[in-house]
């Protein structure tokens, strides 16, 4: 199956770039859908190390620990029918019981990539045949791209995927979901258009779905934004700037969690200076701006529609 028509996520996410300033002004007038408890904001320093790659690994470890989370590792890897999975792009999420869902970038001969997903019902020992999530990538960066993110909702079983690619209509952050393992993924939706590749994180609890992403329109100093859905990922009408976009620190590599009460935990990596990036998962693209700490912010989703 090949996705042919990309469905707009909302009038905000699908707006032409020329309308972005006006939409940003309207969004600024709306009540903030997240109430942050900044008395609980925490910063953890990363131990100094010589290699940037080790510093990134240390940041990941602190980030997951701060959010009481851990990467889910499969017992065996799903098979890529093309035999060309992009190194470092595999992400796995746990669902109910022994359910696992994996997503990854599969390299094509023209240096574009297809986003694929596979499901396991035995803890990752065996996997279903891969299903396409998004096949419309037009970027020619091969595997030099951020890894996708995936979450499986333990309340309703929905699979949620967020990612960054070059779509036919433009670059940006996109989202797709599947409501039933026997069904295909629904047509991808636009979270935000922007020129810069962006790392993402997705979390869900029933009707509430949250995508955290490096805003792709921030130039040299990244900051973290959130997109909120109250309709299990069917519409995305709310955006929140979550880190200090006007500060002196670059905020990257988000990790988000949400529970059924609407409690929200968001973490990201701080850097002392902006980086010029091709991809966000490969430290070799950094201009010597090393991660210096992890920030964790807690809040609650409010203002139910």
Domain 17-301 CATH class label: mainly beta
How confident is residue 73, by pLDDT bands cut at 50, 70 and 90?
Answer: confident
Long-range contacts of 239-247 (CB under 8 A, 24+ apart): 239/12, 239/13, 239/27, 239/192, 240/32, 240/33, 240/34, 241/215, 242/34, 242/212, 242/266, 242/297, 243/268, 243/295, 243/297, 245/215, 245/218, 245/221
pLDDT at 291: 82
pLDDT at 13: 38
**Computed from CA positions of residues 159, 227, 113, 187, in that sequence, does the dihedral angle turn out positive or negative?**
positive
pLDDT at 58: 84
Task: Tell me the pLDDT of the chain averaged across its residues.
Answer: 85
pLDDT above 70: residue 282? no
Please write the tens of the pLDDT for every residue from 234-281: 999 999 999 976 567 889 999 999 999 999 999 999 887 655 544 444
How confident is residue 15, by pLDDT bands cut at 50, 70 and 90?
Answer: very low
Whole-angstrom distance, CA of residue 67 vs CA of residue 75: 24
Share of the chain above pLDDT 90, in %: 63
The Cα-based distances of 297 to 66, 266, 289 in angstroms read 10, 5, 23
pLDDT at 48: 76
pLDDT at 267: 95
Q: What are phi and psi of 304, to 5 degrees?
A: -60, 140
pLDDT at 230: 96
Say how many C-beta atoms besides its own lie within 10 A of residue 159's C-beta: 27
Q: Are 56 and 283 in contact (CB under 8 A)?
A: yes
| Rg, the chain, Cα only | 18
Q: Can you tell me which residue has the tokens 């309340």? A: 155
Which residue, 187, 171, 169, 201, is CA-closest to 265? 201
pLDDT above 60: residue 160? yes
Q: What region, left, alpha or beta, does residue 172 occupy, with left being phi > 0 and alpha being psi -120 to 50 degrees?
A: left
- CB within 8 A of 237, min separation 6: which ones? 10, 11, 12, 228, 229, 305
Mean pLDDT of 88-107: 96
Please write the tens of the pLDDT for every residue from 108-150: 999 999 999 999 999 999 999 999 999 999 999 999 999 999 9
Mean pLDDT check: name the lowest of 36-40, 246-250, 266-270, 284-288.
284-288
pTM of the predicted model, to two decimals? 0.86
Please write the tens of the pLDDT for every residue from 165-200: 999 999 999 999 999 999 999 999 999 999 889 999
Share of the chain above pLDDT 70, in %: 82
Strands 170-178 and 113-120: unpaired
- CB within 8 A of 204, min separation 6: which ones? 151, 153, 158, 160, 210, 232, 233, 258
Domain ranges (residues) in the chain = 17-301
Mean pLDDT check: name the lowest of 26-35, 78-87, 104-113, 270-279.
270-279
pLDDT above 60: residue 82? yes
Mean pLDDT check: name the lowest of 94-98, 217-221, 285-289.
285-289
Number of H helices, E strands in the chain: 2, 17
């Amino acid at each position: 199956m090949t996705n042919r028509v990309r469905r707009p996520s909302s009038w905000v996410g699908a707006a032409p770039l020329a309308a972005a300033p006006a939409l940003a002004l309207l969004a600024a007038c709306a009540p903030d859908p997240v109430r942050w408890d900044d008395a609980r904001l925490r910063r953890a320093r990363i131990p100094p190390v010589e290699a940037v790659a080790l510093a990134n690994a240390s940041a990941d470890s602190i980030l997951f620990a701060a959010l009481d989370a851990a990467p889910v590792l499969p017992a065996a890897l799903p098979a890529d029918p093309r035999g060309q999975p992009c190194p470092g792009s595999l992400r796995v999420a746990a669902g109910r019981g022994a359910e696992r869902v994996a997503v990854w970038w599969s390299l094509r001969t023209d240096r574009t990539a297809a986003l694929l997903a596979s499901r396991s019902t035995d803890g990752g020992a065996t996997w279903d045949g891969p299903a396409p999530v998004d096949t419309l990538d037009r970027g020619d960066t091969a595997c030099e791209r951020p890894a996708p993110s995936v979450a499986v909702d333990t309340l309703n079983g929905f699979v949620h995927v967020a990612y960054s690619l070059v779509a036919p209509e433009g670059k940006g952050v996109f989202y797709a979901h599947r409501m039933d393992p026997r069904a295909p993924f629904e047509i991808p939706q636009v979270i935000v258009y922007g020129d810069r590749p962006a790392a993402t994180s997705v979390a869900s609890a029933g009707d509430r779905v949250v995508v955290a992403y490096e805003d792709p329109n921030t130039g040299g100093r990244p900051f973290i934004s959130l997109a909120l859905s109250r309709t299990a990922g069917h519409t995305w009408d709310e955006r929140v700037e979550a880190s200090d976009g006007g500060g002196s620190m670059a905020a990257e590599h988000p990790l988000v969690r949400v529970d059924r009460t609407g409690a929200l935990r968001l973490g990201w990596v701080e850097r002392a200076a902006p980086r010029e990036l091709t991809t966000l998962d490969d430290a070799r693209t950094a201009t010597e701006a090393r991660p210096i700490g992890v920030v964790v912010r807690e809040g609650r989703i409010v203002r139910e529609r």
